[in-house]
Structure 1
Amino acid sequence: MSSAKKQTQVRLEPGVLAAGKDAAAARGLDFNRYIERLIAEDTSGARAAGMAAAQRLIDTHGAFLDDLEAGMDAQYATATDTSPRGAAA
């Protein structure tokens, strides 16, 4: 039984390989499937469409998202402030 898939070899820096394997695992994919999916998304236009949609979201709601993030950051900083200045307040 032969496979229609072809094998290739890619040389990656250790950090890039580790990041790729971590990203694959986070998505529940094996590394080969992850790479195949990245190439398919990049060459089919799906990645560009997703990036365009993300940019539209940022353009439309960016200020709201910035305010929300700042509020969450401030809340977290207050809850975790263990500095002498924070403890005295």
Structure 2
Amino acid sequence: MSSAKKQTQLRLEPEVLAAGKDAAAARGLDFNQYVQRLITEDTTGARAAGMAAAQRLLDTHGDFLQSLEDELDAQHRPAVRKSRGAAA
């Protein structure tokens, strides 16, 4: 039984290949699945639709999301120690 998939060859700069493999692993995909997903999303318009939806979310709720991020940052910021003046 033969597979319907076709094999191709890519030539990538080493740092591009490493970044792609890292991105694939972060998503739980092997490199082939990652490349296939990127091509599919790009050629079907899915990526553009997702980016447009994300932009609408930011346009509508960006200020609220920024305030939440600022609150979380403040909670995790180390306390500032007040220095005492040098004794005379």
Cα root mean square deviation, aligned: 1.6
**Consecutive unaligned residues in structure 2, runs of 5 or more:** 84-88
Larger Rg: 2
TM-score of the superposed pair, with normalisation by structure 1: 0.81
Q: Which has the higher helix share?
A: 1
Structural mapping, 1:35-74, within 5 Å: 35-74=35-74
Matched residues, number: 83
**Alpha-carbon distance, 1:45 to partner:** 0.8
Amino acid at match of 1:33: Q
**Consecutive unaligned residues in structure 1, runs of 5 or more:** none
Amino acid at match of 2:34: Y
**Alpha-carbon distance, 1:74 to partner:** 1.5
* Alignment partners' CA distance in 2, 1:51 and 1:34: 18
TM-score of the superposed pair, with normalisation by structure 2: 0.82
What's the CA shift string for 1:41-86, capped at 9, x where partnerless?
Answer: 11001111100100000000000111111111121113xx5xxxx3
